Amino acid sequence: MTVPDSSLWWVRRDMRLADNPAAASAAESRNHAAIMCWTPGVHFWSGRRVAHLARVAWQLREAMGGALSVRRGEPAQVVTEAARQADASVVWAAQEFSPSGVATQDAVRTALEADGRELRFVGSPYAVAPGRVRKSDGDPYKVFTPFRESWRAHGWRSPAPALDGHGWDRLSASDQDVDLDQMAAHGDTTDPLLAPHEFREERVLADFGSFVDDALDRYQSERDRPDLDSTSHLSTALAFGQIHPRTVLAAAARHDHPSARIFESELAWREFHADVLFHHPGARRESLTPVLSNQDWVAGTKADAAFMAWRDGLTGFPMVDAGMRQLAQTGWMHNRVRMVVASFLVKDLRVPWQRGADHFRRALVDYDHAQNQLNWQWVAGTGRDAAPFFRIFNPESQRDKFDPQRRYVERWIPELDTPGYPTPMLDHKAERAVTLEMYQRAKAQRSR
Ligand SMILES: Cc1cc2nc3c(=O)[nH]c(=O)nc-3n(C[C@H](O)[C@H](O)[C@H](O)COP(=O)(O)OP(=O)(O)OC[C@H]3O[C@@H](n4cnc5c(N)ncnc54)[C@H](O)[C@@H]3O)c2cc1C
């Protein structure tokens, strides 16, 4: 393929210069510029997530010598306008596979083509693009383990060489340009740009390197322990594309320890969920497997009260409350605790999973549509994988097992052992029995 004279890099969930085929392809052109869209949807995000986006964009712009334009508006209009300004015949981008990502890139392609320009995809936020790994009969996998084996056998490329950030052309100013300094301060009382190194791509890579050197060997034994906090914390960088999973997998492959294979398997979950959503776009809202009858879910004021106690960390179950407070205070929660709180909402309180997933969307900084919706479906037992509905997490025994010294719950619930802390809002054993009875009834009705 001939290299166009002028290209544009459309920055999406790939906000990095290392291992970035879309940026590298654009940089091959004699003239090359970059555009990022600040879409109207960002205004539904939490202040913390907006601030994070702005800080990551700010860092990327710094790394590109100031030559990244970030503009408000719908991508079809913003990208086309920028391509016109840069006189770019080709726009390079990483391909998305989620329902909204696909709709956006279709609109951008149509607008560019109408303007006599071309959208070319290179790479995606995954090691193996969703839709590629299939059973021998061509059908998608429904169950995780065989998917993972096939995914490993498929393999992936080595990381692409890093760019140095020099040589990008600056687009002239526009009244749609976003004031990143102001946005970076959103929802925060401290000046975030006082510590810019915190958000740099180099910092993400260095932190990951330290994780591999210092903690990866312990991953197998400690990854379920929220009190030890031994996981990689890579989810936010992966969600914003500050690191590519290929880079992560290459480091894990070099690490000769059984823990590295478990860690790799967690990344396979990320790829599996993206694959499931690609094949079943309706899974973003609808249960793939129904579990209870419509009338069995709580509704109205009862549902609102239950939801608010859960959301505010006031259920009287320390593991649930600690998790919800960690989420509220930091925008992140340990995976084991995400499972416990999600199970509690769906199976103890019988609130539909979609309401919990919506709350996570608003609160998580590492929010990722496919991961969030499909993990909720996994815990709710409504997903594609074999997680059965009748496996109900007991919040007390989960705490005994994974927070044995109560360090995690004490950290997030200062009033834990005082009269100020609520008594349990329900009897877990009794609710479990009711939920299971409803489940069996609904199952019998469906099979009639
Ligand atoms: C109800 C619920 C909602 C979730 N919502 C999100 C979300 O919006 N965004 C998100 O990135 N993760 C989500 N997860 C998955 C998981 O909790 C986080 O990826 C993990 O806690 C992030 O911490 P870490 O980077 O330290 O993970 P590590 O244990 O260090 O794992 C490394 C990477 O593997 C991937 N990974 C690990 N566990 C999972 C998993 N269960 N599913 C998919 N990928 C996984 C992540 O990319 C993670 O960064 C959710 C899980 C549950 C149960």
| Tens of pLDDT, residues 150-161 | 999 999 999 998
- Quick count: other Cβ atoms within 10 Å of Cβ 132? 15
| pLDDT computed for residue 199 by the predictor | 87
CA dihedral 173, 175, 178, 182 (to 10 degrees): 110
Which of 219, 221, 226 minimizes the C-alpha distance to 410? 226
Q: Residue 366 has which token pair?
A: 């590492």
Percent of the chain past pLDDT 90, that is, above it, reads 86
Q: Whose CA is nearest to atom 16 of ligand 1?
A: 335
Backbone conformation region of residue 130, classed left if phi is above 0, alpha if psi is from -120 to 50, else beta:
beta
Classify domain 126-156+201-279 at the CATH topology level: 1.25.40
Cα-to-centroid distance, 444 and ligand 1 (Å): 34
- Quick count: other Cβ atoms within 10 Å of Cβ 407? 13
| pLDDT computed for residue 447 by the predictor | 80
The pLDDT tens digits of the residues spanning 303-354 come to: 999 999 999 999 999 999 999 999 999 999 999 999 999 999 999 999 999 9
Q: For 27-44, what is the mean pLDDT? A: 96
Strand locations in 284-434 (E): none
Burial class of 281 by CB neighbour count within 10 A (0 to 12, 13 to 18, 19+): middle
Cα-to-centroid distance, 136 and ligand 1 (Å): 29
Mean pLDDT score of the chain: 94
| pLDDT computed for residue 207 by the predictor | 95
Residue intervals in the chain for CATH 1.25.40.80: 126-156+201-279
Residue with tokens 């169950």: 143
Please tell me what DSSP assigns to residue 158.
P
Give the integer Cα–Cα distance in Å for 124 and 122. Answer: 7
| pLDDT computed for residue 1 by the predictor | 73
Q: Is the CB–ligand 1 distance for residue 338 below 6 Å?
A: yes
Residue intervals in the chain for CATH 1.10.579.10: 294-447
Tell me the pLDDT band of 446, cut-offs 50, 70 and 90. confident
Tell me the pLDDT band of 389, cut-offs 50, 70 and 90. confident
Q: What's at 318, amino acid-wise?
A: P
| pLDDT computed for residue 386 by the predictor | 59
Q: Is the CB–ligand 1 distance for residue 234 below 6 Å?
A: yes
Cα-to-centroid distance, 335 and ligand 1 (Å): 6
Helix 369-380 vs helix 335-343: crossing angle, to nearest 10: 50
For Cα atoms 311, 315, 321, give the angle at the middle one, nearest 5 degrees.
Answer: 65
The pLDDT tens digits of the residues spanning 73-116 come to: 999 999 999 999 999 999 999 999 999 999 999 999 999 999 99
Q: What's at 173, amino acid-wise?
A: A
The pLDDT tens digits of the residues spanning 173-226 come to: 999 999 988 887 765 555 555 565 678 999 999 999 999 999 999 999 999 999
Q: Whose CA is nearest to atom 44 of ligand 1?
A: 270
| pLDDT computed for residue 194 by the predictor | 53
| pLDDT computed for residue 196 by the predictor | 57
Cα-to-centroid distance, 175 and ligand 1 (Å): 38
* Ligand 1 atom at shortest distance from the alpha carbon of 223: 29
| pLDDT computed for residue 188 by the predictor | 57
Residue 33, beta-bridge partner list:
8
Please tell me what DSSP assigns to residue 274.
H
| pLDDT computed for residue 191 by the predictor | 54
Helices (H), 364-426: 369-380, 395-402, 407-412
Which of 355, 156, 389, 394 minimizes the C-alpha distance to 270? 156
Q: Is the CB–ligand 1 distance for residue 230 below 6 Å?
A: no
Percent of the chain past pLDDT 70, that is, above it, reads 97
For ligand 1, pick from 48, 335, 337, 362 the residue to mutate: most ligand atoms within 8 Å of CB.
Answer: 335
pLDDT above 80 (res 300): yes
For ligand 1, pick from 218, 375, 379 the residue to mutate: most ligand atoms within 8 Å of CB.
Answer: 375
Q: Is the CB–ligand 1 distance for residue 251 below 6 Å?
A: no
| pLDDT computed for residue 443 by the predictor | 85
Residue intervals in the chain for CATH 3.40.50.620: 6-124
Q: What spatial distance separates the first Cα and last Cα of the chain, rounded to whole Å?
A: 58
Q: Is the CB–ligand 1 distance for residue 119 below 6 Å?
A: no
Q: Is the CB–ligand 1 distance for residue 184 below 6 Å?
A: no
CATH code at 294-447: 1.10.579.10
| pLDDT computed for residue 445 by the predictor | 86
* Ligand 1 atom at shortest distance from the alpha carbon of 238: 47
For ligand 1, pick from 266, 272, 360 the residue to mutate: most ligand atoms within 8 Å of CB.
Answer: 266
Class of the CATH domain delimited by 6-124 = alpha beta
Please tell me what DSSP assigns to residue 194.
G
Q: Is the CB–ligand 1 distance for residue 38 below 6 Å?
A: no
| pLDDT computed for residue 183 by the predictor | 82
Which of 316, 315, 337, 336 minimizes the C-alpha distance to 326? 337
Q: Is the CB–ligand 1 distance for residue 353 below 6 Å?
A: no
Q: Is the CB–ligand 1 distance for residue 269 below 6 Å?
A: yes
